[in-house]
Structure 1
Amino acid sequence: MFTRHKRYFIHVEIAVFVCFVINSLATRISQHPVDVTVREGDKVELSCKIRRLRENQEVWWYKNTLELSHGRVILQDPVYSRYTVTSFPDGLTSIYVLQIYPTTRSDNGVYTCKIVSDADIVLESENASVIILEVPRQRYPECRAEQDTFIVNDLVSLNCSTEIIQPTVSLSWSLDNTIVDSEIYITDKIKTIQYKFRAKKTDNRKSFLCVLKSDMLMSSRNCSIGPVNMLYKPTVKIHSTSNTVIAGREVFIACNSDANPLVREYKWKISPDMPHKYVHIDKESTQVLRIVNISTDQNNTIVSCTAENEVGSGFDQVKLFVEGKEQVKESHPENLPENVSSVGISLPLPILIACAITSIVLILITVIVPLYFLCICKKGRETEAELNVPINITEMQEILQPDYYFEPRDRVLPRVPDNDRQFTWKKHIGVQVPDDNYDIASTSYMYLTLNEPKRSRHIEHYRHYHTLNPMRF
């Protein structure tokens, strides 16, 4: 017989065995989903492995307290169009996988899988956190300024903003590749850095760069403001040909300026005042001043120029030093010696010109005209003598210049008179002699003399062709 204590241990062992059998036959979750951290846009997969899932049981996925799926069916909501559920049977085990692709920052949360039977939750898995590493939206960084145009010495504020996400992003302002100090402001999940400074003339046409950096970006992003338009009043500088001027000469003075916007008007002032006929200002730009016939009375004259634009005006001046020049002493009748007459000194200019013209005409008449007629007469006598004296071949060496001077292609054939009228017909024909390098022997040079041809005679008797030795005229 069993004692009371032995019977108690037997009952306990039977109960444990029964529980083991029941548990081995009951539905249970053998693998729970785990935490996942991914970059925004990447894929997330959560697995839930269930053993001995019965036919009247389903697996539902939850995000926080929100139902996502019933079995493999995703709830008809556009938000979950990126979600899918797949199942893989493996003997007594079933694997349910929740997939999210592409992920967005809205997918951050706690996910669980639950076993439901007849709308009652039988089992549920451990929580699995999904962390999405957010990428800054494409619109960031965002740069803005109160205005695009500033006046020198104004307070300028430049703002650069981005969203507050995980992981955090960094912002910085830079000018000429140098980071400048900025203040940080956080409002309504927006992070803003602000750069404040006093506008300077040297900042004109410069650009200010805001740089955003994040671990989720392959490279940094940036936005810029500029080139900014800094308005400033004119800075005036006067330039002159020379500050020291010789009396009687002219001087040019230019008024140069650096201004934004451009100068709209230049104003000149001369102290002490100078007659207007000596002062000339360029009509188009009014930027150049010209003073003519300056005298020693204008020594230490101060010339000033004022340039104006919409912002203000600028001023500069220069002092002129006028040096006297050596004066030419003029003769006056009262200064002449007593034995010197002053008659003729004060003759009018027209009378002097008339006297000069008369002298020239007299010279022409008395000298040039007689010489001209003398040359004409002499030439006429020489021509008449030549006509009466026949030319012999031996006289060819004395001819200085022929009547016709050319180089024929083959031979010289002058026209012979063909009427019976008797006259003296005689022409001298010369040919050009080639240089020393030319082959003279290969060319014939002809000279023709014709004298008083008549019909009653044989003309051929008076045609004499001679081969002459080359000679130079």
Structure 2
Amino acid sequence: MFYKLYCTHLVLLTFVLYEVTSFSGFQMEPSDISQTEGEPVYFNCIVRKLDDSEYVSWLHNGHKISNNGVIITNTYSHYSMDFDSAFGSYNLRIQQVQRRDKGGYTCTVYDSNDQIVEKSRTANFTVSEIPQQQYPICSSTKTSYRIGQRVVLQCISEKTTPLALLKWVHNIGGSESGLKESVNGIGKSFGTWIVLYLLMFQRTHSLSGFNKEPGNENQAEGDLTYFNCIVRGLDETHYVSWLHNGRKISKNYDILSDTNRYSIDIDSNSRKYNFEIENTQRQDKGEYVCAVYDSSDSIVVRSRTANLTVSEIPQEPYPICHNAKLSYSAGQSVLLSCISEKTSPLAHLKWKHNSIDLTTGLSEDTSSGNYKVSYSFIARQSHNRDIFICELTTSVNPTIRRNCSIGPINVLYAPVVRIEQTSDVILGNEAIFICYSDANPQEATYQWSFDPPIDETMYYLENEFILRIKKTTNSLNGIQVICKVTNSIGSESNKLIIKVKTRGVIADNEDVDYDKAIDENKDISDSKKVNKNQQMLQTKSPTINNSNTNSDISISLVVIIALVCIIVILGLALIPVGYMRYTRRQPSDTISRGRPVSIPDVYFEPRDHIDLMLPQLGITAPWMRTVGVQVPGECEYDVTYNTQVMPQPRQVYYTQRMYPASSL
């Protein structure tokens, strides 16, 4: 049986959230603000991620006023930075707003070359001006008037934005007639009444509202959410709380909720009570209100309601792939399902086969609690052992890519049969026919037949898929050999017409490798139960004999070549040995007659002696050996003849034994 092999690579695309190492945008940008002169103001700037070489600066009307957390000019001494590099916070705070502070404020990211990488939106800051302390100034054109004479009184104030309200009062009541206004660099009010009372300007220190209120936010699940709340004129008996869907979750510094993801960013100087949510979750969505309470826990004033929308990301187990059946028959309909959470917004589910996106046969279903994308197709033989992959992505976080797979798909199909012969059918020779089958399930039965039938003694089966005809005759020419294979799905057959050729005719068809055919069907034959009562005849055809003869000749040739190589290698190895043996320099000496006399390479003459005993010392003289050695100049130094029993000079030897110098 022939097996069709499929090479399937399953690529698991597993991605985890990763950190982007370069600037990736602003999480919060400054917004337009209008503030009263003398009050504090707060501009927000939160960046997602910076490169090590990048830094953040604030620009006021195009002029750089800060580098990261440092104000770089003395002109803006009432400015400060609320700086936290780990959090990505580069907020700008103005302690007491002055008129010159109005204008455009931009949060800007620079690279190491001081080139602008990215700018936030420009926030326009409007300052509500208050006349200076010396105003209003009252004056009269004359010091005295006659009865019936027109009296002109002047009340002067600065020309501010917005203009101050000047009102003349007579006998406590207001004067509305005879008034005239003029704006010429300064504001003036004219009247015809004698001034009895003046209305002076005074700044209120009671609570009058919010300098900054929270705005609507749309955050991805897992990101940071930030709500602003800056109050104006907070009384000592008041406190600030945040409400989530009407439930109090904070009181000044304290978080009243059980979660540890909430925190309050408080600055008593600027009266800032900003609310932060780390790792935003789905349950955080809803309405948020910044409210001021009095000592009796009654709401004094509340900000506008800010709505938080959480863009949801499917949880980690998703996507989940589902296959309705374990196996399919060829021609059946296959339905594969890919399931994800029903999130807002919906995730994107995509089916792939052999790394190619599938665009047809898809259907979506959101009627249940989950979001499901199904792929249907008709099973074919080519789909057997195939793998289908479903990939999940989401617009909320493009870096998230998860997948699941179904397969290998088990497709059952009837056998696909073909017959091949190992070589041309030569008259008088043995002929071999092989039946190949590709089927699923593989368990199948083989049935051989001839059309028209032939004598059963002319052929035998080597195994169920190899047929041998012992000796071909002319009567076999044109006969059809039929192989029928049957499995649990169905049956299929194939036939081959025998063409008998005489010797010397060149075969038109390429010979089939018999050994390869045996290997291809080995797994099938091993899985079958062999009938032990069946007698297998072994017949060798002339073609096989010729093949064996050629094989013997090839082996002999290989052995001869190997022996020649070994002889050549040994000959090359002996060349240096012979050279060293027969070309070595022989030492010689020459006598007066000019005849060279050979002498040994090395000779020595040992001499042993004992020094005379020194009577005055009363000790035994040491035994010593002196060796004379002569070697040729080219010989290496041989330590064999370097014998020195006493390595020290005699004088040193006796000196060590406290001999006097005169005795030596």
Q: TM-score, normalised by structure 2?
A: 0.42
| 1:265 equivalent in structure 2 | 445
Taking a change above 3 Å as real, the CA distance of residues 316 and 26 of structure 1, as seen in their structure-2 partners, is closer
| 1:179 equivalent in structure 2 | 357
Q: Structure 1 residue 38: deviation in Å?
A: 2.8
| 3-state secondary structure, aligned to 1:202 | helix
Q: Structure 1 residue 321: deviation in Å?
A: 4.9
Q: Is the contact made by 2:206 and 2:235 (CA closer than 8 Å) also made in structure 1?
A: no
From 430, 437, 455, give the equivalent of 1:250. Answer: 430
| 1:370 equivalent in structure 2 | none
1:65-109 per-position Cα deviation (integer Å, ceiling 9, x unaligned): 2221233322253xx32112343212xx63222221121122122
Q: Structure 1 residue 63: deviation in Å?
A: 1.0
| 3-state secondary structure, aligned to 1:103 | coil
| 1:116 equivalent in structure 2 | 293
Q: Is the contact made by 1:234 and 1:263 (CA closer than 8 Å) also made in structure 2?
A: no
Q: Is the contact made by 1:300 and 1:321 (CA closer than 8 Å) also made in structure 2?
A: yes
Q: Is the contact made by 2:250 and 2:257 (CA closer than 8 Å) also made in structure 1?
A: no
| 1:404 equivalent in structure 2 | none
Q: Letter of the 2:318 partner, please give it.
A: Y
1:36-75 per-position Cα deviation (integer Å, ceiling 9, x unaligned): 3333222222232223333433222111222212333222
Q: How many residues align?
A: 311
Q: Letter of the 1:9 partner, please give it.
A: G
Aligned positions of 1:19-38 closer than 5 A:
24-26=205-207, 28-38=209-219
Q: Distance in 1 between matches of 2:329 and 2:235?
A: 80
Q: Is the contact made by 2:392 and 2:401 (CA closer than 8 Å) also made in structure 1?
A: yes
Aligned positions of 1:205-220 closer than 5 A:
205-215=385-395, 216-218=397-399, 220=401
1:229 and 2:410 correspond: yes
| 1:318 equivalent in structure 2 | 496
Q: Letter of the 2:261 partner, please give it.
A: R
- Structure number with higher helix proportion: 1
Taking a change above 3 Å as real, the CA distance of residues 104 and 242 of structure 1, as seen in their structure-2 partners, is same
1:44 and 2:44 correspond: no
The gaps in structure 2 that reach 5 residues or longer are 1-169, 177-198, 504-664
1:373-396 per-position Cα deviation (integer Å, ceiling 9, x unaligned): xxxxxxxxxxxxxxxxxxxxxxxx
Q: Structure 1 residue 210: deviation in Å?
A: 2.0
Q: Distance in 2 between matches of 1:290 and 1:66?
A: 91
Aligned positions of 1:303-342 closer than 5 A:
303-321=481-499
1:159-215 per-position Cα deviation (integer Å, ceiling 9, x unaligned): 122223344432222223332221222133422211111011112222222222323
| 1:420 equivalent in structure 2 | none
Q: Distance in 2 between matches of 1:23 and 1:165?
A: 50
Q: Structure 1 residue 23: deviation in Å?
A: 6.0
| 1:192 equivalent in structure 2 | 372
Q: Distance in 2 between matches of 1:241 and 1:212?
A: 52
1:83 and 2:262 correspond: yes
Taking a change above 3 Å as real, the CA distance of residues 324 and 26 of structure 1, as seen in their structure-2 partners, is closer
From 124, 130, 140, give the equivalent of 2:318. Answer: 140
Q: Distance in 1 between matches of 2:399 and 2:477?
A: 73
Q: Letter of the 1:56 partner, please give it.
A: T
1:194-238 per-position Cα deviation (integer Å, ceiling 9, x unaligned): 111101111222222222232313253332222322222111111
Q: Structure 1 residue 157: deviation in Å?
A: 0.9
Q: Distance in 2 between matches of 1:140 and 1:175?
A: 19
From 219, 235, 251, give the equivalent of 1:70. Answer: 251
Taking a change above 3 Å as real, the CA distance of residues 42 and 322 of structure 1, as seen in their structure-2 partners, is closer
Q: Distance in 2 between matches of 1:129 and 1:107?
A: 10
Q: Distance in 2 between matches of 1:127 and 1:155?
A: 54
Q: Distance in 1 between matches of 2:401 and 2:172?
A: 78
Q: Distance in 1 between matches of 2:207 and 2:248?
A: 25
Q: Structure 1 residue 300: deviation in Å?
A: 4.2
Q: Is the contact made by 1:243 and 1:320 (CA closer than 8 Å) also made in structure 2?
A: no
Q: Structure 1 residue 125: deviation in Å?
A: 0.8
Larger Cα Rg: Structure 1 or Structure 2? 1
Q: Distance in 2 between matches of 1:95 and 1:295?
A: 109
| 3-state secondary structure, aligned to 1:289 | strand
Q: Is the contact made by 1:255 and 1:287 (CA closer than 8 Å) also made in structure 2?
A: yes
| 1:107 equivalent in structure 2 | 284
Taking a change above 3 Å as real, the CA distance of residues 243 and 312 of structure 1, as seen in their structure-2 partners, is farther
1:116-160 per-position Cα deviation (integer Å, ceiling 9, x unaligned): 231322211111122333333222222221134322111011112
Q: Distance in 1 between matches of 2:214 and 2:338?
A: 41
| 3-state secondary structure, aligned to 1:277 | helix
Q: Is the contact made by 2:477 and 2:499 (CA closer than 8 Å) also made in structure 1?
A: yes
Q: Distance in 2 between matches of 1:52 and 1:244?
A: 111
Q: Distance in 2 between matches of 1:76 and 1:135?
A: 24
Q: Distance in 1 between matches of 2:393 and 2:257?
A: 38
The gaps in structure 1 that reach 5 residues or longer are 12-16, 326-473
Q: Distance in 1 between matches of 2:327 and 2:355?
A: 22
Q: Distance in 1 between matches of 2:363 and 2:274?
A: 47
Q: Distance in 2 between matches of 1:68 and 1:167?
A: 28
Q: Is the contact made by 2:417 and 2:435 (CA closer than 8 Å) also made in structure 1?
A: yes
Taking a change above 3 Å as real, the CA distance of residues 26 and 66 of structure 1, as seen in their structure-2 partners, is closer
Q: Distance in 2 between matches of 1:60 and 1:121?
A: 10
| 3-state secondary structure, aligned to 1:119 | coil
Q: Letter of the 1:126 partner, please give it.
A: R
Q: Structure 1 residue 298: deviation in Å?
A: 4.7
From 169, 174, 177, give the equivalent of 1:9. Answer: 174
Q: Structure 1 residue 112: deviation in Å?
A: 0.2
Q: Is the contact made by 1:141 and 1:161 (CA closer than 8 Å) also made in structure 2?
A: yes
| 3-state secondary structure, aligned to 1:106 | helix
**Once superposed, what is the RMSD of the aligned Cα atoms?**
3.3
| 1:151 equivalent in structure 2 | 329
1:301 and 2:479 correspond: yes
| 3-state secondary structure, aligned to 1:25 | coil
Following TM superposition, the consecutive aligned residue runs of length 4 or more in structure 1 with deviations greater than 4 angstroms are 5-8, 20-24, 241-245, 294-300, 321-325
Q: Letter of the 1:188 partner, please give it.
A: S
Q: TM-score, normalised by structure 1?
A: 0.58
Q: More displaced, 138-147 or 100-109?
A: 138-147
Q: Structure 1 residue 24: deviation in Å?
A: 4.5
1:202 and 2:379 correspond: no
Q: Letter of the 1:137 partner, please give it.
A: Q
Q: Is the contact made by 1:235 and 1:314 (CA closer than 8 Å) also made in structure 2?
A: yes
Taking a change above 3 Å as real, the CA distance of residues 298 and 46 of structure 1, as seen in their structure-2 partners, is closer
Taking a change above 3 Å as real, the CA distance of residues 295 and 24 of structure 1, as seen in their structure-2 partners, is same
Q: Distance in 2 between matches of 1:120 and 1:218?
A: 47
Q: Distance in 2 between matches of 1:175 and 1:197?
A: 12
Q: Structure 1 residue 25: deviation in Å?
A: 2.7
